[in-house]
Structure 1
């Protein structure tokens, strides 16, 4: 069995979906599958991952034809039995129609452009949604990163449940409990002038539901707690409302935006935080809560979408619309060291249920199953 994987997304500065593919392919290489993998991308890079697998380049074509015709040509040239599309983009639609002799597996991470189209530029959301509906009946199998995403695909796209396999994400093992938390806290104080704080990691946009967290910070400050709120992530749709709420409550010096930070420092941010809060309305998976748990950070998340699948009983889950419950939960955790330690232990144990090795193994099993059909 020869497998082609569209790998161009790992050639850029990697974020969530890119890390999904990078972690999965690296583990497949460790499993001894290198000779069965062809990585298909736009241009050569010096990344070590390409030293282990065969690679095929997508030829550049004028008039925006590179993806529409160049990608199908590269798939034909690669002579693979199956191609894995690690995420959906409208630019790869033509391959589902032109490469009919190749089995096709598509990973669906979420349906945010369909369910929350306002989170994206209108043209992008429309093209994403239209193209996904076009290729639903032309893929041989789908991978969903959570049971919730699988249910959404069945409900909103009328996909057959039998054609969807749930394979959860893993996480980078760099996210782990650091040995000396006092040294980590000293580092955070020296570099970022931070002592005790609550952490949020993710894009600042309406769907992430950050405003109730800011209001809750305002409430718990009244009780004398010294904590600040640290927000790590880029600015997205309606981020202005978040900034306006901070201004309105006079919390400018209490809500910290450190900007771009290295992965190594992100691990430190997780480890030194007293609490991680993720009150998102909708997630296809929810990687930041998993990274926080892997570092031993107590977690509060919404009880919606896929987040209960990720957090399990290792964190505290609240209704994302219930600010009173959020305030109560945050106050309890921040004031009770024993409770924090208990959540820390449960978080570390829960995170061990997830790994890129497990993701890679189960993904390869899907390849084998599809090729047997």
Structure 2
């Protein structure tokens, strides 16, 4: 069995999809990687030297280079010897692969939130993704909620979709005071704080979090809000809300924080709040739970599936409900301790080893299809 993984997402700077691919491959035995896996890329990045490499040069240089490169792949003779192609990048292709074809779909944000993306991207996802999905032998997705979204929007049979949950990396765990203090000093966080981690964009619902912060400040809570993440799409309403509520001294933006610092930030926070309107999975709440940090998140999309009863779930459109939950956690030591313990136990249910094993089962199943 020869499995080709479209692996350009591993190239730096590695982000969400690339991290998923990296962690799956990292947890597959080296002998299996050497015997069965072929990483398809347009450059050599030095990762997974034990696997086989197929380098197909990318003649495209602009921002669309990944999309256009993917369109070439079904036509390339270099892939003819492969039995299976796995496209984990959710970039649809106009042409069908000759091989058995697996596609990973992490979410349908670009379909469900068209106002948050460029019109050209929406059209490519709506039209080309629909065609590409129909050509698959199997679809891998990361939550049962996203599976239902795929069934609803693309009319895909339920048994064609396999749910494989993601996991927090092993460095997300309770840390000692020295490790925490180093990172607190690095970012000058010498006060109690609430943490949010994620891109600054409308879907993340940060203005609602700011309004809830404003309410609990009025009730005597002195915590600041630390917002960690890069600016995304249409983020100006966040800064407008801060100015309107006069929260300039109470909200700290760290910008992008490297992975090696994030576990300590989670550990340092008294509370993690994630009021997102839609997530394909919702990794930040799982990372927070793995660090023992109490979690408040939305009762929408896949988030209840990830958090279960280990966190507090609220209506993300209800500022009062969010503010009440935040106030209760920050003023009740017993509740914070209970949520911390539950979160640590819940996080143990998710692992990259299990994720990798489930991928191998899918490859075997698709290989044996007639």
Is the structural similarity TM-score above 0.5?
A: yes
Check conservation: 1:58, 1:74, Cα contact below 8 A.
no
Match of 1:8 in 2: 8
Alignment of 1:1-373 (within 5 A): 1-30=1-30, 32-47=32-47, 49=48, 51-61=49-59, 66-70=69-73, 72-73=75-76, 76-77=79-80, 79-90=81-92, 92-94=93-95, 97=96, 99-100=97-98, 102-180=99-177, 184-185=180-181, 187-189=183-185, 191-373=187-369
Contact residue 24 and residue 353 of structure 2 kept, 8 A: yes
What's the offset of the Cα at 1:236? 2.1
What does the per-residue CA deviation read over 1:325-345, in whole Å, with 9 as the maximum and x for residues that have no partner? 111110010011121111111
Higher helix share: 1
Call closer, same or farther: CA 1:76–1:193 in 2, change over 3 Å.
closer
Deviation for aligned residue 1:260: 2.5
Tell me, in whole angstroms, the C-alpha distance in 2 between the residues paired with 1:16 and 1:10. 10
Instruction: List runs of 5+ in structure 1 lacking aligned partners.
Output: none
Q: Is the 8 A contact 1:212 1:323 kept in 2?
A: yes
3-state SS of paired residue (2:309):
coil
Structure 2 CA distance, aligned partners of 1:2 and 1:183?
43
Deviation at 1:261, TM superposition (A): 2.0
List 4+ stretches of structure 1 deviating above 2 A: 29-34, 59-72, 74-77
2-structure distance, mates of 1:70, 1:191: 44
User: What is the CA distance between 1:218 and its match in structure 2?
Assistant: 0.8
Question: Aligned Cα RMSD in Å?
Answer: 1.8
Unaligned 5+ runs, structure 2: none
Secondary structure at the aligned position of 2:85 is classed as strand
| 1:185 positional shift | 4.2
